[in-house]
Structure 1
């Protein structure tokens, strides 16, 4: 009889055990790309799942071309918010498209709209008992003729840092660590992290391709590894559960 009770308890526990979902929200530098077997472009969150054990499910909700403003206005955030449960994580990295000052559907002032959109993501996530993590925008490959990497994101990373500090949010300074990555490769070899092809060199592109913002599989994987390394270094106890699920 005891044996059957024990088996029942095991089955019941398994039924009620919940996976942790790690939601990623942001833009094309994170997003899943179509036809990944052929397409050389990858978002770093697209290759994040293999770094975690089976108990963590990466739900990559990042989308090409989105800013904090368009992500909210298109109800993309609402669709994530409705699914959030206690103990989930939301990794937040925007900025590239918030900078699009010629586009009223995407542009945000870094010190007002961008800041308050980040605060909304943080508050809404915590309201559900989930844990927000803020990340600065990844660096672009933007070397000058002296080999100096020039920043392109203006005050957007600064505001991300300030919101993280003010609201005590776990924070990964991805701009800084991707700057180090780009610099470690140097002006020429860093092309490997992005999308640089001559016409006909890759079957996916029929024309020359020189894209210093978006990522190759090599670049995406390197940045995913940076993110995982930084998770392991974070001192915030809210991240401890996630640390344990890293392979």
Structure 2
């Protein structure tokens, strides 16, 4: 597929250049209490959601696009980190740090699975029906202790198609294990695995290429030899997944209509900002 076709496909999902928008951040009350703290959506997850920096552009995590679909009274704190599983995120102290910032009424969005599947790596691998659920319970319990609402999100699907063009699931038993845990614990579930698989099926192999980090040689200085990445998103793909996530949060009653915006409107991937690495 030519670069022109990819850009054309992306344009169907987004308007051309728009105003630059940076992710929302939580505001603490000022010295006089004049700036109340925003209700915050905290994201615990892996590279599919994580903040990306200038040296990785145009790779984009869906958490970077989430603020585009939220009301101005909501903030996003993106704690997701490349390569982490439900286990390694906890073992590295990242859940403890996340919960330290959580206030009553906040949301804690939990999406893991991609790296839990790497069972050959003892630092990350989990078993879907035992240790995966055990680690996920720690996120649920921690959020509840902070009087926040935990939300489980099944892992977003990779771009994988059979020879006949059928979109293929890639996450094994992990989505089913998360669904079962959500039902057992009475926690809202966003079934992003099912939602994204259906979306990729509708777009087909050609239509989905623009949503992933596929680049021609020389197209990006960060990837001089090009890239064919079927896991991580382009700006347009991150926007699409963030839109699906926000719509599902509204449909599940986790967010109310006044919490969301732009769900039916084109949102440009050009609004994505990749800061310099710290």
Which structure has the larger Rg over C-alpha atoms? 1
Deviation by residue 1:140-169 (Cα, 9 ceiling, x = unmatched): 111011111111101100111011111111
Q: Aligned pair 1:33/2:75, yes or no?
A: no
Q: Does 1:97 align with 2:112?
A: no
1:193 aligns with 2:207: no
Q: Which residue of the other structure, out of 23, 26, 31, is the alignment partner of 2:42?
A: 23
SS in 2 for 1:214: strand
Q: Does residue 258 of structure 2 align to residue 244 of structure 1?
A: yes
Within 5 A, what are the aligned runs for 1:24-63? 24-35=43-54, 39-63=57-81
Aligned counterparts of 1:52 and 1:13: Cα–Cα separation in 2:
27
Pick closer, same or farther for the CA change 1:17–1:201 going to 2, 3 Å. Answer: closer
CA gap of 1:12–1:195, structure 2 versus 1, over 3 A, is closer
TM-score where L is the length of structure 1: 0.89
| RMSD of Structure 2 on Structure 1 (CA) | 1.9
Residue 117 of structure 1: aligned partner: 135
Which runs of 5 or more residues in structure 2 are unaligned?
1-29, 262-278
Aligned to 1:67: 85
Instruction: Name which structure has the greater RCO, CA cutoff 8 Å, separation 6+.
Output: 2
Give 1 or 2: higher helix fraction. 1
Distance 1:213 1:12, change over 3 A: closer
Find the residue that maps to 1:58 and give its secondary structure: strand
Equivalent of residue 164 in structure 2, options 129, 139, 146: 146
Deviation at 1:198, TM superposition (A): 2.3
Conserved? CA contact 1:199–1:207, under 8 Å: yes
Given the alignment of the two structures, is residue 234 of structure 1 paired with residue 248 of structure 2, yes or no? no
Tell me, in whole angstroms, the C-alpha distance in 1 between the residues paired with 2:214 and 2:102.
38
- In the alignment, the residues of structure 1 paired with residue 219 and residue 38 of structure 2 have an alpha-carbon distance, to the nearest angstrom, of 42
Conservation of the 8 A alpha-carbon contact between 2:168 and 2:197 = no
Stretch deviating more after TM superposition (16-25 or 105-114): 16-25
The SS at the match of 1:134 is: strand
Q: Using the alignment, how far apart are the partners of 2:147 and 2:181 within structure 1?
A: 19
| Consecutive unaligned residues in structure 1, runs of 5 or more | 1-10
**Superposed displacement of residue 245, structure 1:** 2.1
Matched, 1:182 2:190: no
1:158 to 176, 185, 188: 176
Q: Counterpart of 1:78 in 2: which secondary structure?
A: helix
Alignment coverage as a number of residue pairs: 232
TM-score (norm 2): 0.79
